[in-house]
Structure 1
Amino acid sequence: MAELGDICKRCKKKVTTVTSRKDTFCENCFIRFIRGKQRKQMQDDKFKVKFKVKPDHTKLRVLLDFENNEESYVLLDSVISMLMEQSNQGPKAVLGFELIVSVINDSPDFQFDLAKLKNFYGIEELQKLGVSFIEIDCNSFVTDNKFEQLSLDIKKFQTLKIKDDIEDTNIKSYSELLHQAKDKTTREDFSIIVHEDITIKTAVDNKCSIILKSDSMTRMAVTILSDTIRGRGAEIPRHCDNKYIGTFEMMHPLSDILNSEIKTYIKILGIDKLSPSLSVENVNSNLSTKSKTVNDMISEYFQTLEIEYPETVSTVVKIGGKLSNNDENIANLHRCEICKFPIYHDPKQWLEQITVLDHVPPQNEEEKANYQRYLESINNDKEIESSNQTVDDTSVNLCYGCMVTLGVSEVNNLQWPQRPTREEILSEYILDDDE
């Protein structure tokens, strides 16, 4: 194995200063190594430079979901580099695609300086490459949607929706929407749902047919384990591979890049100067376990694991990629009222099937008395439930994952925006495209 300080075995010119995956690189070769992995994911002909185009040629429009984190900056830099290479292939070269960067402000700690980012690459250069930016405030998601009142009984896995629309909702901002839950993991869950809805709507509004997600291989592995823990196993396939929703494609160009490699890439090119958040190391490491989300704790686990055992991260992602759902009958499935994803198995029925229903009969007088009190409490609950039922309430479906996260936060009443499913949003895009 080559050591740091040796001549780089790739370019045979410069000294190696970077080590990754038990290999060494000079800085230039490491940058090419990372960009090569991104290019491999976007090597389809539709992304390539064109030299002969028909008069009615419509350029491919691609939306980059910029999350203002390290992965987003690396993906943006790599894709801009790809467009620069295409623009240098002669005066007749037509860029393979237009890049629209969607920047969603979904955090109170959001720090993003668009002017500094544009100056880093050059305003004229970005215009020449056809790169445009869209800044979105998540408060618009609250003001653009009507709300509904959900009443949850977590113990019985039952959710009722009050039929009367909420005209004067108490939810006035995105922050208030999230803080209906006291648990950070639940709030993070809400944020992910809203972020993806806004991203897809933005792609449709800007006539983009592809969304680039900035998830690195490490982050994908974190998401897979997090989904498993939070009861969202059915959603794992959409995080592991390029996913089609109708004719709409979601891609993960950084799916073969480790988080440690992301950090090295940023430092070499000086991208860490673009945002204060990029220069902060392990901001969650000093927090107590109770103050961390499930994602935070799993991320810390992989940070210590990927340096010595990077193949473990890859294995988790590969296993997740082998999971798949049968989407043939997806139109006939119920949808979760909160996350809008298909419910493949009724959560209450599933729990009852894996639960031992037969009980050991009471053996003594004390146990018999306790059993009798239990039966009386059940009857009392049924009487209360029947007296509280009104014709204005409608039973709705919640998936197991949403039930679990809401149960952890002890949310009994939730105001949640009414909105179409992602397939319904994209169906409008497909109709407009045909026209």
Structure 2
Amino acid sequence: MECQRCPASARNPATVVSRKEKFCDECFIKFVSTKQRKQMMKDEYFRNLFKVIYPFEKEGSVSKILLPLSLSDSGSLVMLDIVHDLLLEQTKQHNNRTGFTVDVLTVFTEENVSVIKERMESLINEKMSQLNKISNIFNVHFIDVNEFFNNASEVSTFIIDNENFEIFSKSKSVDDSNILTLKEILGKYCLNNSSRSDLISIIKTQLIKHFAYENGYNAIMWGHSMTKLSEVIISLVVKGKGSQIATFLDSESFDTLNNKPCKYKNLYPMKDLLSVEIESFLQIRNLAQFLINVEETNVKPNCLIARKSLPSLGQQKLVKNMTINEITNKYFQDIQNDYSNIISTVLRTADKLTQPKSSMAKPSQCQICQSKIYTNPSNWLNRITVTSPYPVETTEEKYLFKQWQDSKLGQSHTHYVELLNEIKQGASNSLDVEDGDVKLCYGCLILLNTSIKDKNLVWPKVDTMDITANATNKNKELSQILDQFEINSDGEE
């Protein structure tokens, strides 16, 4: 079996079969790299960001790019590898000059900090130190996921009135005695794995976007493959956040944060690549060694001829134990080798969507996920839902009602009612209640109503956050690694 892209006179043995075409290692690497670079040059804005502009002294001739790197995600690592090769080419062709610099941002938790430290040390040594000897091209930043809570001066407690779905909130100042942590939020408020997964995803995305906003980057490069984007699209629909799809995929407009315009655009350079192609590239370039979940990565589906592998039955979860994200992931992973056209159809259809017309009197953003709100979800749910209970009348009904009140569920409801009345009373005397003020999108309202304990959640106020205040500085060991390999971790250090 020979590669179909090699010259006819010197065909190499095929090692990869993708999209019904056979590739050798070299041709497949070129195929994947070309797909990514094509997206990086998709319009004039991004072309000007990534190409080398003369004269070098011209203001803005070197762009600042933020690359969120997850060491449990193959897509962002492959994207970094291809960007590294592009920068290396530019230094050779333009006398050690590049058109852009890359800031790599890794969000970590206390549980995986030691593994991340070890993997990043290897990655910096192999992929970044060579270029940084020429010029300060790569910068590396680490942010503890708890900085999402630590750097907010105020938090709001949101609660839903289950009689009319109205949302009330109460704000309070944060000091050293009442700082929240991710572990506390997930353990105290979340009732299932789906809600935990959703909140973690929201927190990480907001940390990255705040970091980009506060440091004046020109673009954020997300490592989402075509498969991953399709998973997110279907998940958003299932979670009641379908109105966010157009904004999520938008690479033409500048982003907004807390109703403020940002100076960066979002880019998905891997959107023309299937995840099996990314996994194959990862194996060919021996990049799996840098991931913190090497064993899991090695059994992911790929399109390699000799090393094709599938998860064993022992590693598969029951569907009832899966989160929404895991269910959509499993579906697309199962079909992408034989029915990749389904994945591309989902993405092409989503790309054609536009933002819904707003019926709001004033622009609003969800105070949890920061998505735009186009209609009042509380009013709509109140119109279509019957929430008034049937009155207790007979002796038997009174007995059963008393049993329910004494149960854990009844006690939880009593606590919810007390908390609701307390927040209502506090909100009525504050600026938290405004005429026509909508605090949550439909998806987050449903999340709060069905998957959060006592229908209430404590969340940082976005407009009081300063993510860069403690970025990287919280972990001295990580900073020492960066210094050792001459990579700047932060300008303040």
TM-score (structure 2 length as normaliser): 0.73
Where does 1:108-147 land on structure 2 (aligned, <5 Å)?
108-109=111-112, 111-112=115-116, 113-121=119-127, 123-128=129-134, 130-145=137-152, 146-147=154-155
Task: Find the aligned partners of 1:137 and 1:202 in 2 and give their Cα distance.
Answer: 12
Q: Retained in 2: the 8 A contact 1:241–1:252?
A: no
Q: In structure 2, what is the equivalent of residue 46 of structure 1?
A: 49
Task: Find the aligned partners of 2:86 and 2:63 in 1 and give their Cα distance.
Answer: 15
Counterpart code for 2:33: R
The change in CA–CA distance for 1:330 and 1:16 in structure 2 (over 3 A counts) is: farther
Q: Retained in 1: the 8 A contact 2:230–2:346?
A: yes
Q: Does 1:414 align with 2:457?
A: yes
Counterpart code for 1:403: L
Q: In structure 1, what is the equivalent of residue 93 of structure 2?
A: 89
Q: In structure 1, what is the equivalent of residue 425 of structure 2?
A: 390
Encode CA deviations 1:121-170: one digit per residue, 9 max, x unaligned: 25233443611111111122211112222222345322211255465765
The change in CA–CA distance for 1:59 and 1:356 in structure 2 (over 3 A counts) is: closer
TM-score (structure 1 length as normaliser): 0.82
Q: Does 1:9 align with 2:2?
A: no
Encode CA deviations 1:247-290: one digit per residue, 9 max, x unaligned: 42110000111000011000000001112414413689522333
Match of 1:133, SS state, is strand
Determine which of 76, 79, 82 is the counterpart of 2:83: 79
- Report deviation, 1:329: 9.3
Counterpart code for 2:446: V
Match of 1:315, SS state, is helix
Q: Retained in 2: the 8 A contact 1:101–1:132?
A: yes
Task: Find the aligned partners of 2:140 and 2:359 in 1 and give their Cα distance.
Answer: 37
Counterpart code for 1:420: D
- Report deviation, 1:328: 8.9
Q: Retained in 1: the 8 A contact 2:132–2:138?
A: yes
The change in CA–CA distance for 1:293 and 1:114 in structure 2 (over 3 A counts) is: same
Q: Retained in 2: the 8 A contact 1:147–1:418?
A: yes
Task: Find the aligned partners of 2:292 and 2:50 in 1 and give their Cα distance.
Answer: 33
Where does 1:266-277 land on structure 2 (aligned, <5 Å)?
266-277=282-293
Identity rate, percent = 26
Task: Find the aligned partners of 1:192 and 1:88 in 2 and give their Cα distance.
Answer: 39
For these two proteins, the number of residue pairs brought into alignment is 400
- Report deviation, 1:117: 0.5
More off after superposition, 158-167 vs 411-420: 158-167
Q: In structure 2, what is the equivalent of residue 428 of structure 1?
A: none
Determine which of 373, 391, 404 is the counterpart of 2:446: 404
Q: Does 1:67 align with 2:75?
A: no
Determine which of 152, 156, 170 is the counterpart of 2:160: 152
The change in CA–CA distance for 1:276 and 1:348 in structure 2 (over 3 A counts) is: closer
Q: Does 1:339 align with 2:345?
A: no
Where does 1:20-31 land on structure 2 (aligned, <5 Å)?
20-31=18-29
- Report deviation, 1:401: 0.3
Determine which of 345, 348, 351 is the counterpart of 1:321: 351
Alignment gaps of 5+ in structure 1: 358-365, 426-435
Give the CA RMSD over aligned residues.
Answer: 3.3
Q: Does 1:186 align with 2:195?
A: yes
Counterpart code for 2:63: L
The change in CA–CA distance for 1:78 and 1:336 in structure 2 (over 3 A counts) is: same
Alignment gaps of 5+ in structure 2: 42-46, 256-260, 301-310, 402-412, 468-493
Q: In structure 2, what is the equivalent of residue 257 of structure 1?
A: 273
